[in-house]
Structure 1
Amino acid sequence: MAHCRSNFFFLIYLSILLIASAAVHPVLIDRYRKSYYDILQVPKGASDDQIKRSYRKLALKYHPDKNQGNEDANKKFAEINNAYEVLSNSEKRSIYDRYGEEGLKQHAAGGGGGGGMDIQDIFKSFFGGGGDREEEERVAKGDDVIIDLDATLEDLYMGGSLKVWREKNILKPAPGKRQCNCRNEVYHRQIGPGMFQQMTEQVCEQCPNVKYEREGNFITVDIEKGMQDGQEVVFYEEGEPIIDGEPGDLRFRIRTATHERFRREGNNLHTTATITLAQALVGFEKSVTHLDEHLVDIGTKGITKPKEVRKLKGEGMPLHYSNKKGDLYVTFEVLFPTSLTDDQKTKIKAILG
Structure 2
Amino acid sequence: MAHRAVKLFFLLCALSYALVTIAGKSYYDVLQVPKGASDDQIKRAYRKLALKYHPDKNQGNEEANKKFAEISNAYETLSDGEKRKIYDAYGEEGLRQHMANGGGGGGMNMQNIFEQFFGGGGQSEEEEERIQKGDDVIVDLDATLEDLYMGGSMQVRLGILIYASNQQCEMLMSSIIVKVWREKNVIKPAPGKRRCNCRNEVYHRQIGPGMFQQMTEQVCDQCQNIKFEREGYSLTVDIEKGMQDGQEVVFYEDGEPKIDGEPGDLKFRIHTSPHDVFTRKGNDLHTTVTITLVQALVGFEKKIKLLDEHLVDIGSQGITKPKEVKKIKGEGMPLYASNKKGDLYVTFEVLFPNSLTQEQKTKIKEVLG
Structure 1: gaps spanning 5 or more residues:
1-16
Alpha carbons of structure 1 residues 155 and 192: separation in structure 2 relative to 1, 3 Å: same
Match of 2:175 in 1: 160
Name which one, 1 or 2, has greater alpha-carbon Rg.
1
1:31, CA displacement in angstroms?
A: 7.0
1:47/1:181 CA distance change after superposition, 3 Å: farther
Correspondence for 1:131: 120
What is the CA distance between 1:307 and its match in structure 2? 1.9
The DSSP-based 3-state class of the residue aligned with 2:315 is coil
Range moving further from structure 2, 226-235 or 24-33: 24-33
Find 1:40's aligned residue among 27, 31, 34: 31
Question: Which one of 246, 250, 257 corresponds to residue 241 of structure 1?
Answer: 257
Residues 116 and 199 (structure 1), Cα distance of their counterparts in 2 relative to 1, 3 Å cut:
farther
Change (3 A) 1:230 1:124: farther
Q: 2:268 aligns with which of 218, 231, 252?
A: 252
C-alpha distance in 2 between matches for 1:92 and 1:200:
39
Residue 321 in structure 1 maps to residue 312 in structure 2: no
| From 41, 53, 56, the counterpart of 1:50 | 41
**1 CA distance for matches of 2:11 and 2:284?**
66
Question: More displaced, 191-200 or 307-316?
Answer: 191-200
C-alpha distance 351-27 of structure 1, shift in aligned 2 (>3 A): closer
Write the mapping of 1:6-155 to structure 2, written as runs, cut at 5 A: 32=18, 34=21, 36-59=27-50, 65=58, 68=61, 74=66, 78-90=69-81, 93=84, 116-125=107-116, 128=118, 130-135=119-124, 137-138=127-128, 139-155=131-147
Report the alpha carbon displacement of residue 163 of structure 1 after superposing the two structures with TM. Answer: 3.4
Report deviation, 1:269: 1.4
Q: 1:302 to 1:28 in 2, by over 3 A?
A: closer
Aligned partner of 1:12 in structure 2 is: none
> What amino acid does structure 2 have at the position aligned with 1:274?
T
Distance 1:199 1:29, change over 3 A: farther
Q: Pick closer, same or farther for the CA change 1:20–1:39 going to 2, 3 Å.
A: same
Distance 1:204 1:335, change over 3 A: same
Tell me how far 1:124 sits from its aligned partner: 3.2
Report the CA distance between 1:285 and its aligned residue: 0.5
Residue deviations 1:262-315, cap 9 Å, x none? 011122211011112221221110011111211111111212222222222222
1:258 counterpart SS class: coil
1:332 and 1:27, CA in 2 relative to 1: closer, same or farther beyond 3 A? closer
TM score, norm. by length of structure 1:
0.77
On the 8 A contact 1:156/1:227 being kept in 2, the answer is: yes
CA distance in 1, matches of 2:43, 2:341: 40
1:329 Cα shift? 1.3
The separation in 1 between residues aligned to 2:314 and 2:303, in whole angstroms, is 5
Which of 202, 218, 226 in structure 1 is aligned with 2:242? Answer: 226
Aligned 1:169-180 pairs, distance under 5 A: 169-180=185-196
Q: Is this contact kept in 1: 2:138–2:266, CA < 8 A?
A: yes
Greater shift, 278-287 or 215-224, is seen at 215-224
How far residue 257 of structure 1 moved from its aligned partner, in angstroms, is 1.6
Tell me if the contact between 1:275 and 1:333 (Cα under 8 Å) persists in the aligned partners. Answer: yes
Letter matched to residue 143 of structure 2: A
Letter of the 1:124 partner, please give it.
E
Does the CA contact (< 8 Å) of 1:22 and 1:28 recur in 2? Answer: no
1:189: Cα distance to partner?
Answer: 3.5
Alpha-carbon distance in 1 for matches of 2:218, 2:297 = 88
Match of 2:306 among 274, 290, 293: 290
Equivalent residue pairs, number: 332
CA–CA distance in structure 2, aligned partners of residues 189 and 100 of structure 1 = 50
Distance 1:191 1:22 in 2: 65
Distance 2:70 2:246 in 1: 34
CA distance in 1, matches of 2:363, 2:13: 102
Mark the CA change 1:59 to 1:341 in structure 2 (over 3 Å): closer, same or farther.
Answer: same
- Change over 3 Å in CA distance of 1:96–1:184 after alignment to 2: farther
In the alignment, is the contact (CA less than 8 A) between 2:182 and 2:234 conserved in 1? yes
